[in-house]
Chains A and B, each alone.
Chain A
Amino acid sequence: MVDSAITVSNLSKSYRIQVTGERVDRITSAVINRLRHPLTRTHFEDFDALKDLSFEIPWGEAVGIVGRNGAGKSTLLKLLTRITAPTGGIIDLGGRVGSLLEVGTGFSGELTGRENIYQNGALLGMNRKEIKRRFDEIVDFSGVEKFLDVPVKRYSSGMYVRLAFAVAAHLDTEILAIDEVLAVGDAEFQRKSLAKMREVARDGRTVLYVSHQMNTVTALCTSAMFLDKGTLGYYGTVDGAIAKYRDTFEKFQVEQKDAAARPGTGQLRLTRVAVTEQTQEPAEDKVIEFDVGANPEMVGKYFVSAHITDVNGSVVVQCDSRLTGGWFDPTEDQSGVLRIQNLWLRPGRYTIDMFVCQAGILDAWEGADVIEVVEHSPYPDLTTDEALSHGMVLADFHYEER
């Protein structure tokens, strides 16, 4: 008899991918295929989303799960929450698992807030008594009491998220799985949610948390695992896992330097993309230099586009050269510079993605370079952090009398 929250041994999950032809989702096409090729067996290729994972999570841990897109984080969570069945291996859960996988799953737009609390609570494994007991707490936490009898389809997205999180956060399950929910909601609500989750872990229950936001992982989790292409790359301290994760980011960037490995038709390739100042303050101009090789056989001019992407993968700004009349001649080598003025980025790490396009994408270089914006207020006066806690970007503003 083990007494861990979660014990996983040799867990694997593979999806079958049909290699020949498109996916068959009609009986007629399944039959026709069979008639046409009576002897060939349908050829499947297994895609291993998770390979031979083994680990043990003790009670009272808040475990962060980090990894690049497609590393198997969500698959692991889906297996642990029993949404999908494993292909091999055993999962031993020490209690009920509650999940908050995607905000608002289990909400029906037509139902009112009150009805949805009951329905969602039931879906997450609570019985009527439990929900009744917790009802006021849930409403209190979400702050939507005024709209309880309004169908949730009329809610703002913020209210929707808050209510959904409130229901899940008040689950009494022994294990709570959370997939990237804190990305939504305002800063105040995020703080409240983090505090709530820490409280859950302190009660001796176990929290699993998948996120791209390293700061919330650091803030919430007591340990972390790093998944790399379906295998367990690291399981231990939060810092250790994040360090591993950062390493692969750099590896990805190195790989992208090889033009042949990048997506796009390859008729033209970027040879260099560089930010002149990698470390800078929020209000400084962003200057990006780029070189594109020549292709004498190409006809017509092309344009370029640069994206600045934040750590969560959201594109903060797109600078398309067509907007400013920037067209380039493909028969000659081109060297250009992109100067972005008056873009005040919040402190953090940003990547530059650069695209060369004509009718289609000729070259797509993701993570071509990095801008590290240091913690520094561009505003003349200092005040509490609260004054800077909201918003995606900073702005050059001032108040005047009129």
Chain B
Amino acid sequence: MSRTIITPPGRLNMPDWREVWAAREIFFRFGQKEILLRYRQTAVGVAWVFIQPLVSAGVFTIVFGGIAQLPSGDVPYFIFAFAGQLGWNLFNNIVGRASSSLVANQALVSKVFFPRIIVPLSGLISILLDFVIGFGLFVVLLFVFQINPGWPILLLPFWVLLTIFLAMGIGLAASAWMVKYRDVAYFLPWFMQVLMYASPIAYSMEAVEERGLTWLFNLNPITWLMEGFRWTLLGQSAPEAWQVIALIVAAAVSSVVGLLIFQNTERQFADVI
């Protein structure tokens, strides 16, 4: 039997990974709950997973491909927009779900002890499931449009992992701030929406280059990520080496800083939430 010593919190806390591992059952239960509950008491149920990305890709095709006549490389606009959506949704959902998770689970956080980090992390399960389903749909589209992305598709897990680290860092920090300041709940969705239009998701970097704004877009990590996703999913031009390195660094910095911010305030959550 191990003894537990509780002392006042210090400045820099890393999570006690042994404790987190011991509480992994909570992680799975939360993930399972989210999946179960999302489509209970809905009329069309799981169909939502298909309807949402198809409709948004359709709208992007009409607006950007049709009305604005933007280029989409050598692939049809629809699948181009769909691939962008796939990557962006993964990023956006992780940030959104993680950031609001603590406040949404207020009752638990203020009443029961367990490693808090499990709350924002557990959203990953259902988000990844959505991603897998979306990817399945994408594979069907590849066959429909007869596109062969080639070997880069094997690198998909790498980009997914980078997205998770980049997004989770932001989500962790935002969730900790939201406990104290509810403004985050208003600011973040708006910011994410702006970010989506400011990143080459519904349009291509080709369109950006035509207008000479490449340098500005290159400051945005989402641009690097999208280049990676498009290369992997559609076999379009590979991202530049510096973009890949910068992305790895950004993901590492984001996740470590996010974790530190989260852990630093973790033990006050019950008092201020």
Contact = CB atoms under 8 A, between A and B. Distances in A.
A123 B41 CA distance: 25
B180 A25 contact: yes
B108 A91 contact: no
Given A28-B183, A95-B1, A90 B113 contact: no
A359 interface: no
Contacts of B181: 25-27, 30
A122 interface: yes
Interface range, A side:
35 or more
B271 interface: yes
Contacts, number: 108
A106 B108 contact: yes
A94 B1 CA distance: 7
A99 interface: yes
A126 interface: yes
A85 B9 contact: yes
Contacts of B113: 81-83, 97, 99
Interface in B1-31: 1-9, 22-23, 25-26, 28-30
B5 A123 contact: no
Contacts of B6: 79, 82, 85-86, 90-93
B211 interface: no
Contact of A111 (B2, B26, B36): B36
Contacts of A86: 6-8
A264 interface: no
Interface string A70-82: 0000000011011
A127 interface: yes
A97 B112 CA distance: 11
Interface in A85-137: 85-97, 99, 101-102, 105-106, 108, 110-111, 115, 118-119, 122-128
B111 A101 contact: yes
Interface residues of B, number: 37
B5 to A, nearest CB: 5
Main secondary structure, interface of A, reads loop
A366 interface: no
B37 A108 contact: yes
A125 B3 CA distance: 15
A89 to B, nearest CB: 8
A128 B25 contact: yes
A82 B268 CA distance: 11
Interface string B185-197: 0000000000000
Given A83-B270, A110-B37, A122 B7 contact: no
Given A93-B4, A128-B25, A99 B182 contact: no
A97 B6 CA distance: 12
Given A106-B108, A111-B37, A118-B29, A123 B114 contact: yes
Nearest to A3: B3
Given A87-B8, A93-B4, A94-B1, A127 B111 contact: no
Contacts of A25: 180-182
Contacts of A15: 271
Given A25-B180, A85-B268, A125 B114 contact: yes
B110 interface: yes
Contacts of A115: 32-33, 36
B161 interface: no
Interface of B: 1-9, 22-23, 25-26, 28-30, 32-33, 36-37, 40-41, 107-108, 110-114, 180-183, 267-268, 270-271
Interface of A: 15, 25-28, 30, 78-79, 81-97, 99, 101-102, 105-106, 108, 110-111, 115, 118-119, 122-128, 174
